[in-house]
Amino acid sequence: MRGRGLGRCPLCGSPVQPGTTIFAADLGSGVVVLRDVPAYVCQLCGNAAVADGVAATLEGASAAARKRNSLVSVTGWYEVEPVDEEINRW
Question: Exactly one of 47, 62, 70, 75 binds Zn ion (CB under 5 A); which one?
Answer: 47
Distance CA 33, CA 5 (A): 28
Beta bridge partners of 19: 39
Of 51 and 87, the one with the shorter C-beta distance to Zn ion is 51
Distance CA 73, CA 66 (A): 9
Cβ–Cβ < 8 Å for 77, 38: yes
Of 42 and 64, the one with the shorter C-beta distance to Zn ion is 42
Site string (1-30) toward Zn ion, x via CB under 5 A: --------x-xx-x----------------
Q: Which stretch binds Zn ion (CB under 5 A): 43-51, 52-60, 67-75, 76-84?
A: 43-51
- Give the binding-site size for Zn ion (rule: CB under 5 A): 8
Determine how many CB atoms are found less than 10 A away from the CB of residue 23.
22
Which residues make up the interface to Zn ion (CB under 5 A)? Answer: 9, 11-12, 14, 42, 44-45, 47
